[in-house]
Structure 1
């Protein structure tokens, strides 16, 4: 059923919900305490399999392919709702599986969705773990610890900032390393983990990356021209527009004001180049380094302090009655649970006890 081969001990199933048919990977006993795993962009549930198999006895791993990814029914992401489509999809999945409460763990974009779930479904979240999460203030186009937009039209975020060759090569199923800037294999091995690390399941993880749905309204999504540097602003469809600061809405307010505030574990690799205060995927960083001409300068468009924004958010969460712990895994990049799974489980396992 799964396009990508699964490890022994992982089962694959299509789950019907009123919103869409969701492809879900499972591990552990059906009666076990549920742990919901959320993947990031340009990946799928496949990335979580090793960790699902390392769950303590008595836990059930549940890893859906999110809308727009993997083998889940191909329906558009309405970016104007921010994380809303994914949150509603996940609530429908939990209902279909008759799960009232669950631990939730999310990587990268999936980590941002965890913040959204705490804000929208806090009573159903036993704990939240975020791994190198995208900022709740959106990816790109903001500055300072409170996520102030660089421009009123949120220029520098959304579908227009993606290197167009990358989704083209994904859609073509290109497994080569021919394009040093855009080949999916090169991007994965350069940025998903810290080189020279290469995972044992490199081929399966590359296949997983390329299951993302590609198109003008999918990935990377649409965009509009802007008079502000770098001359593109967010459109209305697709995951990259959905995580633009334009559509953050009440996410911050809802997270900080959640009636039930579960413990949040924040795990990050110390060498992440995707989510950092100087991200190589942020136009502020690239402009400052001279890679994108016309940069308007530090005052107008500084590198987004992604890690600083998350720390500031979680400190506010604590001040309002929540709690969190930050764990940094040395010598790892954007995906520490793939790079150092045992060290990752040492931290994550404590949350499940």
Structure 2
């Protein structure tokens, strides 16, 4: 009998998540009712936003309840169908969470064509992370040819796409990443003009040297000491799309260093006419088809490259997610939940992916 392995939220983390904050359980595979389909999960996306879902603090989305399946984007195969628009064997993008099977009534699904691109890309460069990069940079950042664009977490699923799109649009691109290996990949493989290691003891000096004309667009993914180094370099009229603040996701309430820096921040916003704009990619959902056309063209032409870090086995999701928040992944982090389905992924456990 097939078993549905599920990973549940067992406790709300106090600081960094721990393995005990998750619970793995096995349950019978559900049967679809009339109008439903049974999905077999092939890939699960792990993303930083999931840390916020583990907290009960007020946010832009409801938290995962204690005892509920951890949420997340997935690529799945239709195992059984009692739905008129889906047939057994269809491959779909879904939001089924951390489990090996899920029921769906068809709402929110998108069919994928494995012949067009590896299906895993629907969770990365051609999915939510890629669209986050595209919408935040082009709609909010609006880089102009010759301007300097800096992006934090530049080797990650979002940051790597931000920098490449900025380069395609004619901007000078500087990436910030953790470690020489990631910096070398950003610089030598993705074509960034410069890459700076935020772990370097002279990080601030290196960043200033890489941005001799200041920074016109800063795509914020990290916060913390990276923001501290970027902030003095922002030019008048600089634009700052705020996508994430991963350095603070594991902070306990009140852990801000004991210093009120808000007055200085607002003074700079006023005197340098800065535009600082937080966003959630779904607010630009009507632009997704435009993004998908452009990104697919850039991948086909070799202008946009991507990397996937794939871990086998759903049971490894908690530890892999903990590592994601510590920067241990290299590229878009995915869990390969099942090898079944006859899908050619075209991916390596860690490596640059060549589109089909």
Bigger Rg, structure 1 or 2: 2
**Higher RCO (CA-CA < 8 Å; seq separation 6+):** 1
The two structures have a TM-score, normalised by structure 2, of 0.29
The two structures have a TM-score, normalised by structure 1, of 0.29
- The structure with the largest strand share of the pair is 2
